[in-house]
Amino acid sequence: MQSTVSRTAATIPTAPAPAPANAAPVSGGLPSIHMRVFITWLAVYPSITIVQMLLGPSLENLSVPVRVLIITGLVVPVVVYALVPVLLKTRAALLRLRRP
């Protein structure tokens, strides 16, 4: 039984080692974690603010957890699938324009 386990363990591929936290982004790759946090915030804050302004009056009779559930249920997919990718592409385009 032990030999079977060791053979099985030897055939399982391992994930590549993660890059060090202070490593510079690869050309054409994702920006640093700090830039991604900023880009995500740049998408989240205005989205929550706009949805709260639009839906706030109609949701005021609901409890806070239900309001937050509805607002985040609308905002998170929009941010993840639409806004962050657009902001990342815009950043990449702006960086390409700056290069000689």
- In the structure, what pLDDT confidence band is assigned to residue 12 with cuts at 50, 70 and 90? low
Taking the alpha carbons at both ends of the chain, their separation in whole angstroms is 62
Where do we find the tokens 């559930």?
69
The rounded percent of the chain whose pLDDT value lies above 90 is 67
pLDDT at 10 (0 to 100): 55
Cα separation, 51 vs 35, in Å, equals 24
Give the Cβ contact number of residue 83 at 10 Å: 18
pLDDT at 76 (0 to 100): 97
Residues in the chain, total = 100
Q: Residue 91: pLDDT above 80?
A: yes
Annotated domain spans of the chain: 31-100
75 touches 55 (CB < 8 A) = no
Non-local (6+) Cβ contacts of 69 within 8 A are none
